[in-house]
Amino acid sequence: MKRIGGRAVLLVILCGVLVGHGVPVHAGEKPETHRVLTGNLRVDLFGMDALTDGPRLALPADDVAVMMPRKSPWLAAGLSLLLPGAGEFYAESYWKAAIFVAIDVAAIAIALTNNGKGNDKTWFYQSYANGHWSVVKYAEYAQTLAPTGRTYAWRVQGTEGMDPWDRPWTQVNWAELNRMERDIAGYYSHTLPAYGEQQYYELIGKYPQFNQGWDDAPAAFTYGDPLTAHFTWYANERGKANTYYETATRWVTIAIVNHILSAVDAAWSASIYNKAHASVSSRVIPTPAGYTMMSSLKVSYSL
């Protein structure tokens, strides 16, 4: 047997006193108006003002049957799906509403903070690379590894006399550079994406083949040699930015899950609110002595 909660028990005690008892009305008199129990303790004790829905409930002593207010699980779920805790507030589960709202605010705040830190760190390490890594110096080193007998016009015509650190990405023909990289079989694992792309900034601080583009690179380099200090420092800074972004993504996921869980809980809370139903029926019955008010109580518990 399903156990009826405390609210339903109090409801039965409150309403049971009316069952089988008449409210006498003298012969010939018009029945007075009587308060009708709704099955909601707040309304029955304090009137409709407790729900801010208008004046206290008072109906003529006639055939009436009033059911307690119900909550819509679908509406509760929809509210919480949009704003965690809103459905719980609607279902009058105020503590749970506060918890879901707090989680949502915290998750969004942490995600935005980490995303902002990631953006700042990304701007910082990209600016550092623009000033300390040259695709021209990298291409010059790659040229020493290219197959002999082949020509690669990777240098933009007219830029031969430019400083290799003066906007070096404007001095290189990327299609020719990538062709040369592909021909260096067994040594180069990647071709360099165009300047400004996310992969451009990732690769130059990830694979040893790009070591010679850094401004502190030695004249000669072989795979297995120590990477430059600038290469290592840059890779660490890029890793910090990625960590910030991963943390932001994790908290965005938490926020999304919080929306879903709150929607499910709100529907459940509204369903629990509706489990105990009560109705009070009142009927005016004529008697030899006049009129009497007979009341009956119906309590149900739905699964």
Domain ranges of the chain: 134-213
Tell me if residue 73 falls in helix, strand or coil: helix
Answer whether 293's CB lies under 8 Å from 62's CB. no
Q: How far apart are CA 90 and CA 73, in angstroms?
A: 10
Mean pLDDT value across residues 11-22: 37
- What is the DSSP-derived secondary structure letter of residue 257? H
pLDDT at residue 75 greater than cutoff 60: yes
> pLDDT band at residue 14, thresholds of 50, 70 and 90?
very low
Helix-then-strand count for the chain, H and E: 9, 4
Instruction: Inform me whether the pLDDT recorded for 188 exceeds 50.
Output: yes
Angle, alpha carbons 281-277-279 (nearest 5°): 5
pLDDT at residue 25, as a whole number: 41
Phi, psi torsion values for 93, nearest 5 degrees = -100, 80
Would you state the pLDDT for residue 58? Answer: 42
- Give the chain's length: 303
Cα-trace Rg, the chain: 39
User: How are strands ordered across the β-sheet holding 290-301?
Assistant: 22-26, 290-301, 276-287, 64-67
Residue 47's pLDDT is what? 54
pLDDT at residue 238 tops 90: yes
Residue 64 has pLDDT above 50, yes or no: no
- Candidates 156, 160, 161; CA nearest to 172 is 156
pLDDT for position 7: 39
Residue 246: what pLDDT? 97
Per-residue confidence band for 258, with pLDDT thresholds at 50, 70 and 90: very high
Q: What is the mean pLDDT of residues 89-106?
A: 95
Count of C-beta atoms within a 10 Å radius of residue 195: 16
When pLDDT is averaged across residues 32-44 and rounded to a whole number, the result is 45
* CA distances in angstroms from 261 to 4, 44, 77, 88, 242, listed in the order given: 26, 34, 9, 11, 28
Range of 16-25, 27-36, 47-56, 243-252 with top mean pLDDT = 243-252
Q: Which residue has the higher pLDDT, 97 or 298?
A: 97
Average pLDDT, the chain: 79
- Residue-wise pLDDT tens digits, 190-213: 999 999 899 999 999 999 999 999
Is residue 27 over pLDDT 60?
no
pLDDT band for position 219 (cuts 50, 70, 90): confident
The arithmetic mean of pLDDT across residues 45-63, rounded, is: 46
What band does 148 get if pLDDT is binned at 50, 70 and 90? confident
Res 155: pLDDT:
94
Helix axes 135-143, 174-183, angle to 10 degrees: 40
Q: How far is CA 253 from CA 109, 146, 205, in A?
A: 13, 47, 29
Tell me the per-residue pLDDT of 262-277, one tens digit each, with 9 for 90 and over.
Answer: 999 999 999 888 875 5
Over residues 63-75, mean pLDDT = 69
| Encoded amino acid at 30, one letter | K
- Note the pTM of the prediction, 2 decimals: 0.65
Q: Are 36 and 282 in contact (CB under 8 A)?
A: yes
Residue 33 pLDDT more than 90? no
